[in-house]
Amino acid sequence: MFHEIVKEIADLPLIRVKLEEVSILPGPFTMSFGFNLAPLSESIKNIGIVNSPVVSKSEEGTLHVVTGYRRVGALRSLGKKIVTCRMVQKADLPPLQGLLLSLYDNLATRKFNPVEKGMILSRLSHYLPRKDILSNYMGLLDLPEHENTLDAFVAFDRHLEEPLKTDLARGHLSVQAARMLLGMNPEHRCVIGRLISDLNLNVNQQKQLIEYTYEIAKINGSEISAVLGDDSIGGLLANASLNLPQKGRAVLDAMRRRRYPTLTKMERAFRKKVSRLHLDGKVNIQPPPYFESGDYRLEIRFRQGKELKAQVDRLAEIASLETVNDPWKEDE
Amino acid sequence: MSRYPLDRIVVDETAVGYETTADILKKMEGVPVVDHSEAERTIGQDRDLGKTTLHLLAHKGEMLKPCPGTREYICCGYQILHMAANCPLDCSYCILQSYFNQPNLRVFVNLEERLEEVFSRIDGDPDTIYRIGTGEFTDSLALDPVFHWTELLVPGFSRRKNTVLELKTKTANIRTLLSLPERDRIIVSWSLNSPEMTARNEHRAASIRKRLQAARECQREGFILGFHFDPLVPHENWQQGYLETLDLMDKYIDPKGIIWISMGTFRFMPQLKQVIRRRHGHNPILNGEFVPGLDGKMRYFKPIRMALYDFMRKHLEEWHENLGLYLCMESHDVWSESMGWSPHDSGGLSRFLDERVGRLFG
């Protein structure tokens, strides 16, 4: 049935329609979100539209874009008054077929962002069983055929707030982070999302910020907004001497200190102990990750054996080297 | 028939024809039997790990498995007798929530026939002490009133001089066990915690007092006892809480009849975190300072673990100097610093525990 409809539409004559008659609302078939019209407008300005949009006409005469929403938008932005397109009667185009037409038409020319994938999966789920979506459409969207992934992307479409969707579509918010935020209430996730966006955090930093914030709020029995609204965080954000990446790291460090008070205290104590050794800049002593294995690491950078020998001799003369040990032992 | 809410039974096709299957269905008459596909279909959040679904099946895999220890920490060399998977109790910290990839309370109806191969392995290796337990993948006694596992296991293990069978539980279900004549080579063990931890986290389990009362009864009836403080958790007023439990131990138990007391702090594979958040959202069990361990599990930061062990060791040793205290899955330095000695490696710990077996059972 779908192939017949596509063929029929392809056989339809191209007609000229006034742009003002085409609804500016996305409608049920559009799968575009958070896009940048500029490159497309530039293309259309130079070579026009090669692949014409398809619009559907309702019984009341309203025109909705079936496929080509961004092309129509680009024409509008260029100040054009007319779009050349194919027109199908709404009654002749069942919703699922319209959706698939739009999907395959877009798929041929571009990649979808995570919000658009969510829009597609969310709409398909109105018409198709989950099993079909998992086996036939997740792969098309470069997604694994996992139920959890399907649920998460559908939730992006249905539950994420507009600013978060925009950040997700633009890549400012990672898919992993967005999935973590889904588990929070809307107010809380917007607060965290705004901070992620403001600090331009990378994928790992986003995850850390969400984890720390969630857990500190839970431990303290406080609201997420209160955790992030803390004076110490506010002070870092307002600190004009820090650039954006420095602010991001400083905020995460502050959050880590709050989440892991004992661990970070020991890390500081260890650094202090090592700094008292006044080691050469080319010598470094590192604790094991989280002090778990008990094996400390000494690193010496050198260019020649002679330099290495000199460094080792200098080290051997530092009596306080013997004090390097687990920092909590000093506290006993 | 069961003290736990079992509201349906799934009979796997591999379980059909076993006498045990027929016996269980008869005992549980009135509980609806659903087919496999229905059970799979409805296993979602609504049924929550299938804790109320009794799933009867024949076990095809290994019956005796080494406890899943790792090279990075000192392991006791325990063997697990795999008679069931998952547990009718519902402890918020339980690793089984994410350990098995299949839901339901899975009970193996072919235990009796498979026991023969377990016994022949033990008999064929007479110089090895087999310390075997049934309480790792399920509670050893929670379902004993229904399945009478102890009737099946105790006589065979009790006869073998190179083995001990440890029945580890958080319940007070000791009636069937006490009705048996055998005592030799059987250890009845209880997992212990502070009363508050138990009340908040060990849902459907007996209170600490009831566990220790049951332990006293077993001890009076001639059983050797074991205890396991695992997971130790530094909760609010934890010192006071654990001392309350030690006071109860002092009240009910003769320490001379204890073969060992293990200690382990809360540790978990990272994927358990999401399960705990989903199933026990308000529980503070994840609030601690957990760091990735050398085996990939999350553990309390080392000095926090050592403080817990040190506290428990001191107070347990004040009670009695020879309790067979040991740590579960800890490193040499944690052993040394919190216990004052170390078995150095897994072989050393195995020898220590084997010696305890020799001392208590001859």
- On whether any CB of chain A is under 8 Å from the CB of B38, the answer is no
Q: Which of A262, A292, A328 to mutate to test the interface with B (most CBs of B within 10 A)?
A: A292
B286:A293 CB<8 A: no
CB contacts of A289 in chain B (<8 Å) are 291-292
Q: What are phi and psi of B322, to 5 degrees?
A: -135, 75
* Mean pLDDT split into 10-residue runs, chain A, 332 residues: 76 90 88 88 90 90 91 93 91 89 89 96 95 95 95 97 96 96 93 95 97 95 91 91 96 96 96 94 96 95 96 94 89 44
Rounded distance between C-alpha atoms, residue A98 and residue B110, angstroms? 56
Nearest CB to B293 within list A219, A266, A292: A292
Rounded distance between C-alpha atoms, residue A271 and residue A282, angstroms? 16
Domain ranges of chain B: 62-81+116-361
Nearest CB to B291 within list A183, A263, A328: A263
Nearest CB to B289 within list A183, A263, A294: A263
Rounded distance between C-alpha atoms, residue A131 and residue A326, angstroms? 54
pLDDT at A331: 44
* Mean pLDDT split into 10-residue runs, chain B, 362 residues: 78 92 91 77 60 91 90 93 93 90 89 94 96 95 93 96 97 97 98 97 96 98 98 97 98 98 97 91 92 96 98 98 97 96 96 96 90
**Residues sharing a CB contact under 8 Å with residue B139, sequence separation 6 or more, in sequence order:** B87, B88, B89, B168, B169, B170, B171
pLDDT at B197: 96
Q: Could you tell me which chain B residue has the CA closest to the CA of A263?
A: B301
Q: Could you tell me which chain A residue has the CA closest to the CA of B288?
A: A260
- The closest alpha carbon to A32, from A84, A71, A85, belongs to A71
- On whether any CB of chain A is under 8 Å from the CB of B303, the answer is yes
- Residues A42-65 have pLDDT tens digits of 999 999 888 899 999 988 888 999
Rounded distance between C-alpha atoms, residue A87 and residue A64, angstroms? 10
What distance in Å separates residue A329's CA from the closest CA in chain B?
Answer: 9
Tell me the CATH class for B62-81+116-361.
Answer: alpha beta
- The closest alpha carbon to B285, from B109, B94, B140, belongs to B94
CB contacts of A325 in chain B (<8 Å) are none
A294:B331 CB<8 A: yes
pLDDT at B45: 44
Contact B21, B11 (CB under 8 A): yes
Nearest CB to B291 within list A219, A292, A294: A292
DSSP state of B322: -
Q: How many CB pairs under 8 A join A and B?
A: 48
Report residue A165 as tokens. 């969707």
Q: Regarding beta strands B298-300 and B290-292, do their DSSP bridges make them parallel or antiparallel, or are they unpaired?
A: antiparallel
Nearest CB to A294 within list B286, B293, B333: B333
CB contacts of A262 in chain B (<8 Å) are 289, 301, 303-304
CB contacts of B286 in chain A (<8 Å) are 215, 218
